[in-house]
Amino acid sequence: MKMKFYDALQLDPAILKRHIAACDTKQEKLYYWTAMAVRSILIVAFAIVFISLLSAVFGADNTPLAVALFCIMLGIRFVNFEYCIRDSLLTLAVALVILVLGPSAAAVLPPIFLISLHFVCFFSLLYITTQRPEMGNGGLYSFAYVYLTGNPVIGEVLVRRGLLALTGYLLCGAILFAKHRHQHKAVRFRHVVRQFDLSAPVCLWQFRMALGVSLVLTAGQLFGVERFMWMGFACASLLSEYPYSSNALPRFRQRIIGAIAGSCAFLVLYLINPESMHSLLGPLGGLCMGFCTDYRYKTAMNCFGALMLGAGIYGIQGAVVLRIVDTILGVTFGLIFATLFHRLVAIRFLPEPQTK
């Protein structure tokens, strides 16, 4: 029996593709392919309207936070923080405060404080929002932090960013309350704190990711790497794989392949299309993302939005080269860090393998 079309629109592409594979008729397959296409179109259309509206009200300099809030709003419908609604609402507020103040502080503090600042902010975000990394919260809030670190603001613009965060809190908090107020009623945040144990896979994953991303962001800022947040995205993506794995090489290869393929595809489309159509390439990447389940293809499609913005700053060739170089630097750093971390730290905390 086919599910309702509205219910199909709520599903992840990976789940929809499993339904398609299980279908017996072409008509059923077309039904789910249509749902996937409509879902992708609706998300992109809503993103354009939502982000454009908030950017118009709070200023173009705060578009990055509008993007982050859009992603948080989509995710919070399905994934909560795994404790009672009162503590969850407080957690959301703390997370937004970190996202507003952490990146701006990193832009003005002396370099000696950067590693500790990024680590405290990043680890705090992961620890309070991500009790089950497999649900995707870790990638969501890490993306937001890295993106905002690459687009810091100060002064009056920072005040408007705070007001935008307050607006986002009211929207996301309402969704969180409506969708999850009856879940985890007996679990308080203090219970989570008491359970911290670095030998636990989740805590080990949080610590490794926070330390690795903090180091790569600090390196990018200290050495003046152009668009260093692209390094941060690449490193965070490599370290975000869960369950914890000592072998980061497969994702290392996939990230590089995806970045090169996506950047080259964007370059070709940019060159063969008239200038009036260049602004459509970003939304095109978003539409295609709605059909992607493979990590390589997601990486490739992510390049479109980034390069659309980067081309206006560096030119198309400069943006493409920078995207590829920053990605290679980020995943190379992440691979080396993951290897050293496992040998020097993780192996001491991971449980001994069971012997028969």
Domain-located, residue 43:
yes
The pLDDT, as a whole number, for residue 354 is 45
Same-domain status, 188 and 297: no
Strands (E), 174-275: none
CA distance 13 to 36: 7
The pLDDT, as a whole number, for residue 356 is 43
Residue at which a domain ends, from 128, 161, 196: 196
Domain-located, residue 202:
no
Query: Quick one: tokens of 150?
Result: 């690459």
Which DSSP state fits 10?
T
The pLDDT, as a whole number, for residue 200 is 86
Residue at which a domain ends, from 27, 57, 87: 57
The pLDDT, as a whole number, for residue 343 is 87
Same-domain status, 81 and 2: no
The pLDDT, as a whole number, for residue 352 is 56
Same-domain status, 104 and 182: yes
Domain-located, residue 213:
no
Which DSSP state fits 66?
H
Domain-located, residue 206:
no
For residues 122 and 210, is the Cβ–Cβ distance under 8 A?
yes
CA distance 134 to 224: 34
Domain-located, residue 312:
yes
Same-domain status, 10 and 77: no
Same-domain status, 37 and 71: no
Range of the domain at 91: 59-196
Residue at which a domain ends, from 41, 57, 73: 57
Taking the whole predicted model, whether its pTM rises above 0.85 is answered as yes
Same-domain status, 326 and 244: yes
* 299: nearest Cα among 238, 243, 239: 238
Domain-located, residue 214:
no
Same-domain status, 227 and 168: no
Residue 128 CB contacts under 8 Å (≥ 6 apart), including other chains: 81, 91, 94, 95, 189
Domain-located, residue 15:
yes
If one counts the domains in the chain, the total is: 3
For residues 286 and 43, is the Cβ–Cβ distance under 8 A?
yes
The pLDDT, as a whole number, for residue 201 is 86
Which DSSP state fits 354?
P
* 183: nearest Cα among 86, 91, 82: 82
Matching residue, tokens 């005040």: 159
DSSP 334-346: HHHHHHHHIIIII
Same-domain status, 69 and 157: yes
Same-domain status, 64 and 181: yes
Matching residue, tokens 């060159």: 271
Query: CB-based burial of residue 9 (10 Å sphere; 0-12 exposed, 13-18 middle, 19+ buried)?
Result: middle
Same-domain status, 42 and 119: no
The pLDDT, as a whole number, for residue 281 is 94
Angle (deg, nearest 10), helices 63-76 and 156-180: 10
Residues in the chain, pLDDT under 50: 353-356
Domain-located, residue 210:
no
Same-domain status, 79 and 126: yes
The pLDDT, as a whole number, for residue 172 is 96
Query: Quick one: tokens of 110?
Result: 């002396």
Same-domain status, 124 and 150: yes
Matching residue, tokens 């507020």: 93
